[in-house]
Structures are given as structure tokens and as C-alpha cells.
């Protein structure tokens, strides 16, 4: 019973490159959430998706960031033209229904922009 799978675990990008972070939710879960954790800070909400729909993207920066959760395949968080300030841990979580029962988290992708 695999949990939430995120890959890669570590990603290094040069400034200006694109970063693609993948998340496969737990089996049976149809709701996916992305959070960003900066050093010494808590988790900041970015986006909430269901299959083929963005439900809430109020935490997404207006430029360079996008997310999708296609009918088939993992959810993708895409960051274009990365800058040093994008360096952080990005966590994906999933839930079977709207998350009144709590989330199951992946192990995160640690993005370093050099």
C-alpha cells in the first residue's frame, strides 16, 4: 500500500531553468495539495487539485508557477525560470475526500537553485 510518492527527492537547477516536481497520490485518493516549506518556516499552502481541476490556487505565485493533475498520471508542479528564492522543500499531500480527515504527505522534493 504505497503512500504518496514524490520525485525526485532532490533537484538542483540553475537560475533560469525549469523545475518539474511530480506527485503520485495514495491509492484511492483523488485530492492533491502542494505546500512549500522554506528553511525555519512552516508549510505554506500553494494549490489544491482534483483530477483535471484546480480547486484552489490562492497560494500560488502569479507568475512562473503552475500545477496540474491530469486524468492519467501524477500531479505536476512546474516552476519556470527558477530563481534562488524558489529553493525550498515542496511537499505534496493527498486525501480521499476534502481533507477533514487529514492529509497523507509525501517525503518532499528539495529544490536547490544555484
Site string for other proteins, 65-84 (x = CB under 8 A): --------------------
CA distance linking residue 110 with residue 82, whole number of Å: 14
Minimal distance, residue 16 CB to other proteins, in Å: 27
State the cell numbers at 18.
525549469
105 touches other proteins by CB under 8 A: yes
Minimal distance, residue 105 CB to other proteins, in Å: 4
Minimal distance, residue 104 CB to other proteins, in Å: 7
Half-sphere exposure of 93 (CA within 13 A, CB side): 20
Minimal distance, residue 79 CB to other proteins, in Å: 19
Q: Is 37 exposed, middle or buried (0-12, 13-18, 19+ CB in 10 A)?
A: middle
SS3 content of the chain, % helix, strand, coil (to 5): 5, 50, 50
Closer CB to other proteins, residue 14 or residue 39? Answer: 39
Site string for other proteins, 32-51 (x = CB under 8 A): -x-x-----xxxxx--x---
Amino acid at each position: 500500500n504505497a503512500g504518496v510518492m514524490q520525485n525526485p527527492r532532490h533537484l538542483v537547477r540553475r537560475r533560469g531553468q525549469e523545475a518539474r516536481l511530480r506527485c503520485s497520490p495514495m491509492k484511492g485518493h483523488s485530492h492533491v495539495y502542494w505546500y512549500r516549506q522554506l528553511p525555519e518556516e512552516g508549510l505554506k499552502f500553494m494549490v489544491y487539485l482534483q483530477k483535471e481541476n484546480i480547486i484552489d490556487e490562492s497560494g500560488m505565485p502569479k507568475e512562473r508557477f503552475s500545477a496540474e493533475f491530469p486524468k492519467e498520471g501524477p500531479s505536476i508542479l512546474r516552476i519556470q525560470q527558477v530563481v534562488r528564492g524558489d529553493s525550498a522543500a515542496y511537499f505534496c499531500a493527498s486525501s480521499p475526500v476534502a481533507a477533514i480527515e487529514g492529509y497523507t504527505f509525501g517525503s518532499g522534493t528539495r529544490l536547490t537553485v544555484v
